[in-house]
């Protein structure tokens, strides 16, 4: 009877539990309460461990998120700096390009001015020798030049003839001791017409 008091059987049937003496019933209730308390302690311990692990994981995740945010902030800052530098470089490229274009325009204007000045400074005269002076009296100096140009340069004869500014014999005075006829001096408007004749 004492052994039964110490270790009452595990009863699950309601009818069996109802038939237990009061002392055994109390012992059973105490045991159940102890078992329940032990289980609750274990469950609480497990829950606490799980909560601790969750807190640690959450802290790790928060740290990782903060690191990612910090990295993104640095990247965004670098991107902003890079965009500003690119914008500055683009502005400088535009300035340099504009300056180069203006420089090229100035150089072209200078070259054109120099070419025009050179055309005006450089001699634009052509000398025709060996034409009898009697022939000039009949046809005129310009007519003789026109015939020579048309005969020798048929493709550009009229264009060159139209550019004659002056035609005359040189020297102006006749030298009786000179056996050859005086040269005919033709002055053209631009040197390019003289060069066209010389290159042809």
Does 72 have pLDDT greater than 90? yes
Cα separation, 27 vs 29, in Å, equals 5
Q: Check pLDDT > 60 for residue 11.
A: no
Q: Can you give the pLDDT at residue 199?
A: 66
- On the question of pLDDT at 125 being above 80, the answer is no
Q: Is pLDDT above 70 for 115? A: no
Distances in Å between the alpha carbon of 157 and those of 108, 127, 132, 147? Answer: 31, 17, 22, 9
- Mean pLDDT is lowest, of 70-84, 109-123, 168-182, for 109-123
Q: List the 183-188 sheet strands across, edge first.
A: 125-128, 183-188, 164-170
Distance in angstroms (rounded) separating the CA atoms of residues 125 and 198: 12
Dihedral pair phi/psi, residue 181, rounded to 5°: -65, 155
Domains belonging to the chain, first-starting first, are 124-199 (3.30.70.1820)
Which of 170, 123, 124, 168 minimizes the C-alpha distance to 145? 168
Give the pLDDT of residue 78. 92
CA distance linking residue 109 with residue 16, whole number of Å = 123
Q: What does R_g of the chain's alpha carbons equal in angstroms?
A: 60
CA distance 144 to 43: 130
**pLDDT score recorded for residue 128:** 79
Helix ranges, the chain (H): 2-6, 14-18, 22-121, 133-139, 141-152, 157-161, 191-199
Given this model, what pLDDT does residue 12 score?
Answer: 52
């Amino acid at each position: 009877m004492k052994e039964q008091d110490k270790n009452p059987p595990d009863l699950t049937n309601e009818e069996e539990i109802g038939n237990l003496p009061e002392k055994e019933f109390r012992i059973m209730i105490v045991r159940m309460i102890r078992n329940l308390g032990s289980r609750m302690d274990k469950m609480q311990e497990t829950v606490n461990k799980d909560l601790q692990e969750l807190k640690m994981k959450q802290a790790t995740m928060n740290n990782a998120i903060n690191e990612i945010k910090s990295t993104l902030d640095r990247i965004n800052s670098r991107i902003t700096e890079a965009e500003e530098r690119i914008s500055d470089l683009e502005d400088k490229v535009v300035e340099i390009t504009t300056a180069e274009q203006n420089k090229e325009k100035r150089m072209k204007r200078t070259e054109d001015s120099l070419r025009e000045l050179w055309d005006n400074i450089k001699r634009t005269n052509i000398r025709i020798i060996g034409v009898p002076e009697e022939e000039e009296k009949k046809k005129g100096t310009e007519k003789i030049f026109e015939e020579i140009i048309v005969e020798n340069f048929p493709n550009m004869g009229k264009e060159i003839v139209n550019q004659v500014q002056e035609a005359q014999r040189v020297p102006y005075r006749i030298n009786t001791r000179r056996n050859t006829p005086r040269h005919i001096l033709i002055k053209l408007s631009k040197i390019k017409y003289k060069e066209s004749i010389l290159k042809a």
